[in-house]
Amino acid sequence: MKYLLVEDNPELANAVSSRLRLDGHSVDHAGKIEDARAFVAAGEYDLILLDIMLPDGDGRTFLKHHRAADNDTPVIVLTARSQVSDRISMLDLGADDYVTKPFDHAELEARCRAVLRRKNGSSRSVKTMGDVEFDAVGGHLRVKGQALELRNRELRLLEVLMNAPGQVFSKQKLVDRLFSYDDDVSENAIEVYVGRLRKHLEGSAVQIKTLRGLGYRLDHDG
């Protein structure tokens, strides 16, 4: 998954980013509303973690404009405000959830997973397609009942593809989804990860097909 973290506290931003990256997620960090708007305009995110008190304004203003632009990317607000009225106002503005500072990183990660499951219309993290069972949270893949191990990037690539079966993803689109702007990677990296995933899926009803000049698509036979 690709996250945008909007937080002006460098220590907290580094801690949150590091935890998410350990699980193979890519994270872009914006310390100001202006930077956050530039990131959103330039790329696509699965989830936004939004601080409220920022150097150039109130995060609620960003949230309000975000929803007014019909952007449905989920937003979890990170706030030091514990008043019920404050939390209600953020939810009314379009926040999907909120976490009160200081927070436990495990709780934040759990709330991220819950929000993403709701967005994908599921209450479970396990997805089944034919004889393939995939748990993005636990990092488990079963092909025809056999448990296989995935590296972090392979895990997140399969997560992207399984969340949108039948959709065509260009190499550049996959680079954007799997890596942050600070990562110096080429489209060749995608070919490597796709090749590894194909080996894992060999013999199953699920295939990653190449569409010449377009990209890749996850298909299910039967």
**CATH number for the domain harbouring residue 184:** 1.10.10.10
At 33, is the secondary structure helix, strand, or coil? Answer: helix
* Count of domains observed in the chain: 2
How far is it, in rounded angstroms, from Cα 60 to Cα 156? 30
The predicted structure's pLDDT at residue 81: 75
Same domain, 95 and 130: no
Q: Are residues 24 and 92 in the same domain?
A: yes
Residues 103 and 8 in one domain: yes
| CATH number of domain containing 28 | 3.40.50.2300
- Regarding whether 107 and 137 lie in a shared domain, the answer is no
**Secondary structure string (H, E, C) spanning 77-107:** EEECCCCHHHHHHHHHHCCCEEEECCCCHHH
pLDDT in tens, 2-25: 999 999 999 999 999 999 998 888
Q: 176 and 200, same structural domain? A: yes
Residues 28 and 87 reside in one and the same domain = yes
> pLDDT by residue (tens digit) across 111-140?
998 898 888 766 566 889 989 999 887 788
Nearest to 171 by CA among 136, 206, 213: 213
Instruction: Check residue 142 and give its pLDDT.
Output: 93
| Shared-domain flag, residues 201 and 96 | no
Please indicate, yes or no, whether residues 145 and 214 belong to a single structural domain of this protein. yes
How far is 123 from 121, CA to CA, in rounded Å?
7
pLDDT above 70 covers a percentage of the chain that reads: 97
Whether residues 151 and 107 fall in one domain: no
Average pLDDT, the chain: 90
Domain that holds residue 131: 126-220
Residues 11 and 106 in one domain: yes
Residue finishing a domain among 65, 89, 119: 119
What local confidence, expressed as pLDDT, does residue 124 receive? 64
Asked if 7 and 114 sit in the same domain, the reply is: yes
Please tell me whether residues 130 and 155 are part of one structural domain.
Answer: yes
Distance between CA atoms of 62 and 51, rounded to whole angstroms?
10
In which residue ranges of the chain is pLDDT below 50?
none
Location of structure tokens 């190449």: 210
Instruction: Output the pLDDT for position 201.
Output: 94
* Domain stop point among 94, 119, 144: 119
Of 55, 89, 119, which marks where a domain is finished? 119
